């Protein structure tokens, strides 16, 4: 089965783990506007799928054991290693605050992502006049609670990799420009816990004015899917 892409927001886009051993794969649907955290092992890969299109996903990661390792995915170090703010290309690495590669991008349908903006947070929405609005920092803190994260401020201190977010070129394309079925896939280079948030930002009609579900596929054996 192949992933069927569409410009519509239909929820029927199929999820294809693309595993040789499907018993090793796990697919988790993350509700729109909410978060999810999961552990990944070196030598496997994982996938983030936009099921409906135009949904931004904030992604953070910490090297295990969390929190004692103090090592996390860093956009500042990644920008340094990639010589700028342009999104990574197939084969590029995302890098930690110890200047070490944590993930390698192995598949990318959208080719448009952001490495410059912070995660939305309660203070951000309060400034916009919508206090109590769900936020990515809160979503990630809730998802990371089983690993010991105590406050959204811990998540807010780490800049995310904003999957499917078109910030530098937002005057040329929509802020969220992914299509239903688009996905990114990463090879895991360090044991880590990854947290994602289906961004609840719906102010001014962005993302169609409504956060939608995404899917995460983990436990994938390494194989090339193409770019």
The bridge status of strand 35-40 relative to strand 26-30 is: unpaired
* Distance, CA of 177 to CA of 179 (rounded, Å): 7
* Distance, CA of 49 to CA of 218 (rounded, Å): 11
* Distance, CA of 80 to CA of 88 (rounded, Å): 12
pTM of the predicted model as reported, rounded to 2 decimal places: 0.87
Please determine, for residue 42, whether its predicted confidence score (pLDDT) is greater than 90: yes
At 141-156, the pLDDT tens digits run 999 999 999 999 999 9
Q: Where are the beta strands (DSSP E) in 35-92?
A: 35-40, 44-50, 57-63
Q: How confident is the model at residue 23 (pLDDT cuts 50, 70, 90)?
A: low
């Amino acid at each position: 089965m192949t992933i069927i892409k569409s410009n519509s927001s239909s929820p029927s886009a199929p999820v294809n783990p693309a595993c040789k051993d499907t018993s090793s794969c796990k697919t988790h649907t993350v509700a729109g506007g909410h978060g999810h955290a999961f552990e990944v092992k070196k030598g496997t890969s994982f996938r983030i799928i936009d099921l409906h299109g135009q949904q931004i996903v904030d992604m953070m990661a910490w090297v295990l054991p969390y929190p004692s390792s103090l090592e996390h995915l860093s956009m500042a170090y990644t920008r340094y290693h990639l010589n700028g703010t342009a999104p990574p290309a197939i084969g590029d690495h995302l890098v930690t605050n110890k200047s070490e590669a944590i993930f390698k991008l192995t598949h990318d349908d959208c080719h448009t992502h952001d490495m410059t903006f912070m995660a939305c947070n309660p203070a951000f929405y309060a400034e916009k006049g919508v206090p109590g609005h769900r936020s990515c920092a809160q979503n990630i803190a809730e998802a990371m609670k089983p690993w010991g994260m105590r406050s959204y401020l811990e998540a807010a201190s780490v800049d995310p990799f904003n999957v499917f977010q078109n910030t530098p070129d937002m005057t040329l394309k929509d802020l969220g420009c992914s299509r239903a079925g688009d996905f990114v896939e990463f090879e895991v280079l360090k044991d880590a816990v990854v947290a994602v948030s289906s961004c609840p930002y719906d102010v001014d009609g962005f993302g169609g004015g409504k956060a939608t579900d995404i899917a995460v596929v983990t436990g994938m054996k390494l194989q090339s899917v193409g770019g």
